[in-house]
Amino acid sequence: MPGSAPTAGESGPWRLITGARTHERRALALAFSCFFLLLASYYMLRPVRDQFSAAVGSTNLWPFWTGTFLVTLALAPVFGWLVARFPRERFMPLVYGFFILCLLAFVPAFRAQAVIGPRLLGIVFYIWLSVFNLFVVSVFWSYLADLFDGEQAKRLFPVVALGGAAGAIAGPLVAAALPIESLLFAAAIMLSLVIVCVLALAKWAQRHRNPDRERDFAQGSGIGGDVLAGIRQTLTSPFLRKMAALMLLGDVVGTVAYALVADYAGSHYVTAEARKGFYARIDLLVNVLQMLVQIGITRWLLARFGVGIGLVVPAIVNVLLLLAAALIGQPAVVALLVVTRAGAYGLSKPASDSLYARASRETRYKGKNVVDTAVWRFGDVVSSGSMAILTPLGFGIASFALICAVAAALSGWFGWRAARAPELARESRS
């Protein structure tokens, strides 16, 4: 039974390495493979997107992120409508199938780039890939939070996240070897395999029903509610308000670091291919470091000290890094982006996603999706717009780093409080 104590036969090397009990091994392998394919497909396409941001510079990024935010906001009710009316076995393939069709539609668009214009195509592709990343990853973690309870999440989610880290390393390597058109087809094939993994996970869930999720596993049941439930939840739920604050404050750090690196890349790399290679190398550094964090720290830290500490430690590291960047200046901005991203994906993300396994089902699918998509992209708009206003007023790297240090400290406080929200089921300890 999920969440029960391990038996003698479950205490071998596999359990020691992965934290999975015998009946969970197939599910863990499928979830690992699913996340590997998702992030490999994304990171094959990401250097193409990021080189457009370096071409325009930090003060011109706010239209990119404003467009992304508006599209994300427009799609949120559509997502809520799907969640309210379809069981997960149906709406998951619908979501991923939609993005597969979009990928195939970009093939003739890139062939007609000379007619469309590189700037227009770049804006459209930037917005689409940003929305793609937010929705496919958010849906995936909501699905896992639906399948596993809080105790299982602490053991298994860090291992699943490791699959994503491996895919994020493989993606840039493939991107460096294939032309754009081939990358679009390869990503579409990977998303098709994700659908296969999702359906196999649904079969596993039917065979290994968790008493804590029994109602969720009722065949053919949708989640219910209306399309605006996620937005209302985010505004009224104390837990979701803390998670939204955590997301916004973390996004201040991430967006500013990204924008400063865009200026660095734009001034040091002249051609699109050179900028694409630069961002591919950054992705590799980030994802290797992320994997090391997940292997050496994340699962042990969450299981030993609880989820809250997994949100506080990255905040402390970020404060120290930002103070160092304020003193050193531009030579530190690439290292700042690499380390803050690795900490966010390697520790903060598995920790925050584990919290949703202790929340209600509607919160996991609707409220979480609003926080992970609309709130995140709203943070991008505010942060990039603020940089566009403050930079001409004389704000530089040191000023932005100090502002971000305050945001990072506050994010740790909100993370600690969110992990202790009364709305969540009690956290168990391994």
Express each pLDDT in 174-225 by its tens digit.
Answer: 888 888 888 899 999 999 999 999 889 888 877 766 655 555 444 444 454 4
Cα separation of 141 and 138, whole Å? 5
Cα separation of 152 and 58, whole Å? 41
Token pair for 55: 């071409």
Q: What is the pLDDT of residue 246?
A: 92
Read off the pLDDT of residues 332-391 as tens digits, 9 standing for 90 and up: 899 999 999 999 888 888 888 888 878 877 777 678 878 877 788 888 888 888 988 998
